Amino acid sequence: MNNNQLEKNKVDKSMTPQNDFLFQKIFASKGNEDMLQEMLEEILNIKINNINITNEYTLEKMYNDTKGGRIDLKVTIDEHKIVDVEMQIVDKKDMEDRDIYYASNLYTEEMKEGEGYKNNKEVIIVSILSYNIAGRNNYIDSARFRWDSDKTVMSDKIQMYFIQLPKFLKQNKKDKKKLSQWLYFISQENKEELEMAIEENDKVAKAEKLLKEALADPETREILRIKDRIRFDREMDLEIATEEGRAEGEKNKQKQIAKKMKAKGMSVKEIEELTELTKEEIEKL
């Protein structure tokens, strides 16, 4: 798919499964384990025999989470793996550090007093990103503890998987067919491939049906509206804080210049004319 086609097919991410709320509503409800299982099998390259959703979706919980809580999807796989799946639309330039923090917390939470470390469950963080990570060429990449000398795996107890949707769409990868189908569903940005995935995969078809039902539901749309408003308010607060920071920085710069002028014997009046500082501000220097 070329860049012109990608621009043409751009969609509102907040109305797709890239929105963490919609993602959890679709995948974190009882009865939807089959969809999540298939997607995780493709991401992790493993066969899953049993999957249990730890934090099941409820409308009340999701409404409360609009007030600022982190929305994610936590599951237990085959009794010995804890998997945390999350969507991330905004690039805050700290994804790797955030995932290390989440993984460490989960690993600590799973430790049981009196049991040996070897009995600790594996913790796996799966981050599906609406942006690309600098320096990562593959649309799907993973990280874990490795020995520096020969790069062999030291431990699988903590693993992190990163999926970059823009890179996937640009590369149009189909090496993992079922995973590709799910990524086309999550992105909603290539209608032709999405329609093909729906036709070929009944689980993707089921997920698409759930998405349409969610977007048609008044309560869901109200939560989406609230979340969007919170996001907008946060962005505005950040913009205001940034502008205030710039203004403060400029003021400090003016004061430093004024100090040098004063040290060279220039009068307060002269400094006032050459800077944006007031007489009172200059006299306090």
Provide DSSP, 12-64.
-GGGSTTSHHHHHHHHSSTT-HHHHHHHHHHHHT---S-EEESS---HHHHHH
pLDDT at 69: 43
Cα–Cα distance list, 211 to 28, 61, 121 (Å):
13, 19, 33
Same domain for 275 and 160? no
* 129 and 262 both lie in a single domain: no
Domain final residue, candidates 201, 230, 263: 201
Q: How many residues does the chain have?
A: 285
Same domain, 131 and 238: no
- Is the four-CA dihedral 125, 129, 134, 140 of positive or negative sign? positive
| Count of Cβ atoms closer than 10 Å to residue 201 Cβ | 19
Residue finishing a domain among 142, 177, 201: 201
In a domain, 124, yes or no: yes
Q: What is the mean pLDDT of the chain?
A: 83
* Shared domain check, 124 and 224: no
Query: Are 243 and 195 found together in one domain?
Result: no
Residue from 74, 103, 65 nearest 231 by CA:
65
CA geometry: angle 121, 127, 130, nearest 5 deg: 175
Residue pLDDT, tens place only, 177-189: 999 999 999 999 9
Same domain, 95 and 231: no
Return the amino acid letter for 218.
P
- Structural domain includes residue 209: no
Q: 127 and 86 in contact (C-beta within 8 Å)? A: yes
| Residues 37 and 170 both lie in one domain | yes
Range of the domain at 263: 217-285
Q: What is the pLDDT of residue 118?
A: 78
Domain co-membership, 117 together with 33: yes
| pLDDT tens for each residue of 198-229 | 999 999 999 999 999 999 998 888 877 777 77
136 falls within a domain = yes
Q: Which residues of the chain have pLDDT under 70?
A: 1-10, 56-71, 113-114, 173-174, 230-245, 247, 274
Last residue of a domain, one of 170, 201, 232: 201
On whether both 180 and 106 belong to a single domain, the answer is yes
194, part of any domain:
yes
User: What local confidence, expressed as pLDDT, does residue 225 receive?
Assistant: 79
The answer as to whether 211 is a domain residue is no
DSSP characters over the chain: --HHHHHHT---GGGSTTSHHHHHHHHSSTT-HHHHHHHHHHHHT---S-EEESS---HHHHHHHTTSPPP-EEEEETTTEEEEEEEE-S--S-HHHHHHHHHHHHHHHT--TTS-GGGPPEEEEEEEESSPPTT--SSEEEEEEE-TTT--EEEEEEEEEEEEHHHHHHHT--SSHHHHHHHHHHH---HHHHHHHHHH-HHHHHHHHHHHHHHH-HHHHHHHHHHHHHHHHHHHHHHHHHHHHHHHHHHHHHHHHHHHHHHTT--HHHHHHHSS--HHHHHH-
Contact in structure between 122 and 159 (CB atoms under 8 Å): yes
Residues 68 and 92 in one domain: yes
If asked whether residues 192 and 239 sit together in one domain, one would say no
What phi and psi values does residue 51 have, to the nearest 5 degrees?
Answer: -135, 135
User: Does residue 207 sit within a domain?
Assistant: no
Give the chain's domain count: 2
Same domain, 167 and 226: no
Establish if 127 belongs to a structural domain. Answer: yes
What pLDDT shows up at residue 109? 83
Residue 224 in any domain: the answer is yes
